[in-house]
Amino acid sequence: MALGDVLPLTWMEKNGRASVGGVELDAVAGRYGTPCYVFDVAHLESRLEEFEKALGGIGTPVYATKAFLCTALAGLIAPTGWWVDVVSAGELAMARRGGIPASRILLHGNLKTRAELDLAVEGRAAITVIDSLAEIDLLDARAEGRPVDVMIRLNEHVDLITNRKVLTTGGHAKFGLTPQAADTAAARIAASGSLRLRGVHLHAGSHITDPALFGVIFERLAEFVVRHRSAFTSDHPVMLDVGGGLASPYLRTDPVLTPRAAADAVRWAMDVIDAEDRIGPVEVMMEPGRSLVANAGLLLYTVGVRKPLPVGGEMLALDGGLTDNPRPALYDSRYELLAAGHLDLPAERPFRVFGRMCETDVLLDSVNLPASIGPGDLVAMPAAGAYTFSMSSRYNALPRPPVLFVKDGEVREVVRRESLEDVLGGQLMMEEAEPWSITEMEKAV
């Protein structure tokens, strides 16, 4: 509930200038250019530890890599006890390259390709989270008797009010199995020669601010396990995965939900329903994405244009936008914006802030910045670590910005800035491209 909650842990201000990880952001921008994603490694490390401690004695955190992944982040996660959740062969490959063992990977996704299911069969992910009845049959057929560990993803209505685009349960959600279908799934998996039921999962959606919801989710999962206890393998504790979705503060007025509060709500539910007496050994899994990375990261931009708006007031245009952070366009997400090189000046003049893409590309409806701000000035958008780089695009043929990890006065470009070569890569003139027609296929048969 304060600006400090939104900022990276090592954010400091000196002589009006901001630094992260002991490096002035002006200097970072000077060396690496803007836009760029800057991540505070100390913040990431501290969050990794905080979740592990919060779940201590009851379970394991699982990082939802869709929020942000690069091999360097996987490298920070690898030496911890964290698992990761991946939804594609690409996320899986990145996690593996960063050193995360297959034994700590959950394969999610509402539509896994056959090739991705084969990765599970080959043991390149520990557990596949079943999202439909058809997927059980497909996986079972591809396994051909080889053991494959699975979880069932439930879709049960829980009382979460959030942006409908990030609500993943309820009548309109595409994810998981309805209670009735989940009953069928448990029986079908138990009857399969290959699939072993290890657990059950429910991710309600994102921006959960009420910790009690995690207790409710745990109870739903536990009830399911009690009803189907014999369908679960008895070789391991039963995994009850309460999903992620812990809210992150984007604005200084946003509420903060701590990992400890969410984990304690689960502990309380475990006691109330005597989970271990009724089920036997259980392992709680919690799957945060944004709450690990959102506030560790920020986006740095340079102001390019300042001009009056036809309706009155003034606008700024920044040198990035929709392509590096599509969240304002997708979800009407709101952010803070700070004049990173002029924090000593009062932020008292309202501006509407646009990106440079050929859409409306409004990044902030209104934000107060110093009256003198103008072209060439650096601005920092905090809480921009989640669902930004991972959702970035090359719209308007813009190369993607770099990802910079900062720690102890050093900056490392862990994902390099794309070049025009990258943007043009893979493109051929029509006459350069190998022709193919149906007759080629016929010849091959």
Ligand X SMILES: Cc1ncc(COP(=O)(O)O)c(C=O)c1O
**Least distance CB 246 / ligand X (angstroms):** 6
Per CB under 6 A, does 8 bind ligand X? Answer: no
φ, ψ (nearest 5 deg) of residue 192: -75, 145
Containing H/E element for 78? none
Active-site positions read 358
Q: What angle do CA 125, 55, 48 make, to 5 degrees?
A: 70
User: For ligand X, what does the binding mask look like between residues 242 and 271, x meaning CB under 6 A?
Assistant: -xxxx-------------------------
Q: Are 60 and 77 spatial neighbours (Cβ–Cβ below 8 Å)?
A: no
**Least distance CB 176 / ligand X (angstroms):** 9
Q: Which stretch binds ligand X (CB under 6 A): 60-68, 304-312, 335-343, 421-429?
A: 60-68
**Least distance CB 284 / ligand X (angstroms):** 14
Of residues 82 through 141, those in contact with ligand X by CB under 6 A are 85, 108
**Residue 193: how many other CB atoms lie within 10 Å:** 10
Per CB under 6 A, does 297 bind ligand X? Answer: no
Count of residues touching ligand X (by CB under 6 A)? 17
**Least distance CB 387 / ligand X (angstroms):** 7
**389/295 Cα distance (integer angstroms):** 14
Containing H/E element for 337? none
**Least distance CB 77 / ligand X (angstroms):** 15
Per CB under 6 A, does 156 bind ligand X? Answer: no
CB-based contacts of 195, cutoff 8 Å, min separation 6: 136, 139, 140, 143, 148, 149, 150, 189
DSSP conformational letter for 246:
B
Of residues 160 through 199, those in contact with ligand X by CB under 6 A are 168
**347/240 Cα distance (integer angstroms):** 47
Handedness of CA 58, 60, 64, 70 (dihedral sign): positive
**Least distance CB 248 / ligand X (angstroms):** 8
Per CB under 6 A, does 203 bind ligand X? Answer: yes
Per CB under 6 A, does 290 bind ligand X? Answer: yes
Of 291, 295, 323, 325, the one binding ligand X by CB under 6 A: 291
Of 20, 64, 202, 363, the one binding ligand X by CB under 6 A: 64
Residue 124 one-letter amino acid: R
Q: Which stretch binds ligand X (CB under 6 A): 241-249, 275-283, 332-340, 410-418?
A: 241-249
Q: Is 79 exposed, middle or buried (0-12, 13-18, 19+ CB in 10 A)?
A: exposed
| Site of interaction with ligand X (CB under 6 A) | 64, 66-67, 85, 108, 168, 203, 206, 243-246, 287-291
